[in-house]
Amino acid sequence: MFRVARTILLALSVVALLQLVWAVPGAHAHNGIETGQNPFTAWNWNPLATLLLLMVAYVYLNGLSNWHRPSHPISRWQRASFFTGLFVIFIALQSPLDNLSEHMLSFHQLQHFLLRMLAPLLILLGAPLTPMLRGLPPWILLGIVKPTVRHPLARAIYEKLTNPVITVVIFMGVLYLWQFPGGFNLALRNEFVHAMMHMTMVSSGFIFYWAVIDPAPRRSRVHYGVRVLYLGLIVLPNTILGAVITFSKTIIYTGYQDVYRPFDMSLLTDQQIGGLLLWVPGDMMSILVAGIVMIMWYEREEGGNRANRSIPPPPPTQETPPSA
């Protein structure tokens, strides 16, 4: 089954690569939605994101195929979670949602939610670490990955990035950076800045959830109770930012004033919906993940208790009878 799936993914990757190389570059730019065009058929035909997603899927499947005696088997629900996460990124970057986001703030906030909060969570729930490493070509694994992992500077950076306080600062800092009108409006006008916006949001999501989900075989030193608190830390700043956007009486993101609006909706109403999409789903996601962490905490405690019960008690020691 893995061989057939890998073959299909490889063929799709070749098709996407040929389209990327041979098609006219201008056709792949974000052209947006033209006047009178059906907004739900305005797909982003730049195949770069699809190509990268197919490559990641291929490496994951290749790793599962090469992992003959897994120490921690990847269950079906974990595989489904991983591929669902990749599909969420595909929808965010290739579907009409991508072009709609350039014309309406509400769709842009939905896109950011998928890229920043939902997709990284689903992918990491798929425990991708071991399959991805096993699926890499040997020259990459031995020549690049292992030397990098063993390098003192890389290890020091990793320790900093997995510090709970720093991950919260990065996660919320990236959100606030791109929600300020200056950065947001610039991203609407500049394709490179727009791509940087998406890359930093996805990266901050992976950094944040990496410390929370603890994908096997990694074992974080952060206690599960601290992780729940850690998730609570992001609720207040997310709520404040969402409320400011929702209840603002003026147009914050002026970059949308000069573009075609595919739906009959005022800029202020669109902005209010965008603020709510940042506010409510973001807070709900934090609560949901806190529940997942508590389930993981319970399972870990139960596993430890079962292991303790399976250890036979030591034999009783025979006391020496007292001498007469």
Model pLDDT for residues 132-168, shown as the tens digit of each residue: 999 999 999 999 999 999 999 999 999 898 888 899 9
pTM of the model: 0.86
CA 248, 173, 127, 54 dihedral sign is positive
Residue 222's pLDDT band (boundaries 50, 70, 90)? confident
Mean of pLDDT values over 186-208: 95
**Which residue did the predictor score with more confidence, 318 or 39?**
39
Both structure tokens of 7: 């073959």
Residue with tokens 């990327």: 20
Mean of pLDDT values over 52-68: 93
- Cα of 234 vs its chain's centroid, Å: 16
Residue 258: what pLDDT?
87
- If you average pLDDT over every residue of the chain, what do you get? 85
**Which residue did the predictor score with more confidence, 219 or 209?**
209
Which residues, at least 6 apart from 133, have a Cβ–Cβ distance to it below 8 Å?
63, 141, 145
pLDDT above 70 for 16 = no
Q: How crowded is residue 55: how many other Cβ atoms within 10 Å of its Cβ?
A: 15
Both structure tokens of 317: 């020691």
Residue 300's pLDDT band (boundaries 50, 70, 90)? confident
**Which residue did the predictor score with more confidence, 233 or 118?**
118
- Lowest-confidence range among 38-42, 73-77, 264-268, 301-305? 301-305
Residue 70: what pLDDT?
82
Both structure tokens of 132: 């991805």
Which residues, at least 6 apart from 270, have a Cβ–Cβ distance to it below 8 Å?
104, 105, 106, 256, 261
- Lowest-confidence range among 17-26, 43-52, 89-98, 217-226? 17-26
**Which residue did the predictor score with more confidence, 214 or 254?**
254
Residue with tokens 């071991």: 130
103/276 Cα distance (integer angstroms): 18
Residue 35: what pLDDT?
67
Residue 86's pLDDT band (boundaries 50, 70, 90)? very high
> Is the separation of the CB atoms in 205 and 120 below 8 Å?
yes
Residue type present at position 255: G
**If we measure between CA atoms, which residue out of 78, 64, 88, 60 comes closest to residue 216?**
78
